[in-house]
Structure 1
Amino acid sequence: MRIPRIFTVQTLSGGATLVLEPGPSQHLARALRMGPGDALCLFDGSGVDFPATIVSADKRAVTVALEQGQPGLVESPLRIHLGIGVSRGERMDWVVQKATELGVAEITPLYTERTEVRLRGEREARKLQHWQQVAISACEQSGRSCLPQVHAPGTVPGWTGDCEDTQRLVLHHRASPLPATASSPTSLSLLVGPEGGLSEAEIATAMAAGFLPLALGPRVLRTETAPLAALAILQAHWGDMCLPR
């Protein structure tokens, strides 16, 4: 049986005993039907995994005893910040989930000229919390011990103007592929539009901020496909994904 990995907002330390939050407790006790003596792994987003054993469990609270922490998976040497146009329905959840699995370090949802979803106030706060939970669940599944940060939504001019990464790219279907001789960056900002893509003005704004246009190939990819294809290519080119030789 696979040992479940559970995120907690509590700061963890080896040898401690703690009571998990209601959400993880209910998941372990109700969904997984785990009980005293069962093993699990906890992480708090600091990059360390803590093997643990359930001491007691009921439907409201699970108490666990922690062993000494162990270094989690090494993060990619390429730190990627994804700026992604907010899309409709479950597409955004899909992008956040898969981008987390692909090792992205930060995600900023963006309101663009062609964005059809506009969130305000409490709705935006709830959606932001939901996206962060999607990222947490993806870390639990994929083995990551560091959480990507999901920022509050911004705009293309604001986000591109604040980017200071060593490499900056904007997806644009009329651009050129990534040069094989391009120097290896340590950090990268990737801008991807919503349904319908970025406007010419937004692409010009990004390029004025130091972004280079990048194309992925001859086919037009959907908004939930394009960032994931780009992330996989960039991680294979400069990060921690490798192709068979």
Structure 2
Amino acid sequence: MSRFFTTDDNIGDKTIKITDKQDIQHMMKVLRLREGDRIDISDSVKWEYETEILSMNKEVVEAIILDKQKFTNEPFLKVTLFQGIPKQGKMEFIIQKTVELGIYEIVPVFTDRTIVTDNGNFSKKIERWQKVSDEGVKQCKRGIIPAICQPLAFRQMLGLLEGFDLVLFPYENEERRTIKDALRELEHQPETAAIIIGPEGGFSDKEAEQLKQIRSQCVTLGKTTLRTETAGMAALAMVMYELEL
């Protein structure tokens, strides 16, 4: 069944409404759904519903609730990816794949080696990147839509890291301590984690030292140096395997 999202105010005791025009157009024009067809609907917070379409038009789709349950496809661990902003085009790939792997949210970060090509105007990029996230969760049937946050400066990111149970800093110059070492030494199951990935060229020496001085764990992802669009996915997959599976 296809997966769609709605807001709490559209959920009643027995029926659910979908009012997003793009979703409705996708239902009618692409999926060719009709009255009587079944769809999955998530409230993006806690619950997912199995429903059957009662009526549909260009303005609203109404469906009867057949079953309600808590999310079954959402990881317990909420992982935030702080991604050094890469060159054009790579961010969409990063979002698509990390959403599939279970990321909770993605925060673009301006670093010393970020190459800015649009004078720092990211409003349209954020909107486009959020659509990539929206489309990704529908395909893999997750319960939430990971947020693509407004970009931060490196120093702003540093101020947020204290709020995470686990902070991992994969670094190409770290040769001994592996991400497996860091994860298997944990005394308690974390609820939140941050993964910090640099742009092309990695972090500057100054940035790396700043990260080492706070509570982040500097780790290696292996013997090879990964591209920025690969490193976040690899780290996330390792974390999910060790702490979720």
Same topology, TM > 0.5: yes
Matched, 1:203 2:189: no
The residue matched to 2:229 in structure 1 has which SS? coil
Letter of the structure 2 residue corresponding to residue 61 of structure 1 = E
Residue 134 of structure 2 aligns with which residue? Answer: 136
Letter of the structure 2 residue corresponding to residue 149 of structure 1 = A
How high is the TM-score relative to the length of structure 1? 0.87
Asked if structure 1 preserves the Cα contact closer than 8 Å seen for 2:108 and 2:152, the reply is yes
Q: Which runs of 5+ in 2 are unaligned?
A: none
Residue 47 of structure 2 aligns with which residue? Answer: 48
Q: Which runs of 5+ in 1 are unaligned?
A: none
Residue 158 of structure 2 aligns with which residue? Answer: 160
The residue matched to 1:108 in structure 2 has which SS? strand
The residue matched to 1:69 in structure 2 has which SS? strand
Asked if structure 1 preserves the Cα contact closer than 8 Å seen for 2:73 and 2:141, the reply is no
Q: Name the CA shift for 1:53/1:209 in 2 (closer, same or farther; >3 Å).
A: same
Letter of the structure 2 residue corresponding to residue 200 of structure 1 = D
Asked if structure 2 preserves the Cα contact closer than 8 Å seen for 1:6 and 1:24, the reply is yes
Percent identity reads 26
Matched, 1:191 2:158: no
Q: What CA deviation, in whole Å up to 9, does each residue of 1:181-202 have, x standing for no partner?
A: 4114412211001111111111
Matched, 1:224 2:229: yes
Asked if structure 1 preserves the Cα contact closer than 8 Å seen for 2:6 and 2:17, the reply is no
Matched, 1:177 2:178: yes
Q: Distance in 2 between matches of 1:22 and 1:158?
A: 36
Residue 213 of structure 1 aligns with which residue? Answer: 218
Q: Distance in 1 between matches of 2:43 and 2:16?
A: 15
Q: Distance in 2 between matches of 1:156 and 1:140?
A: 32
Q: How many equivalent residue pairs?
A: 236
What RMSD in Å do the two structures reach over aligned CA positions?
2.1
Q: Would you tell me which structure has more helix in proportion to its own residues?
A: 2
Q: Distance in 2 between matches of 1:17 and 1:212?
A: 45
Q: Distance in 2 between matches of 1:202 and 1:177?
A: 20
Q: Name the CA shift for 1:10/1:125 in 2 (closer, same or farther; >3 Å).
A: farther
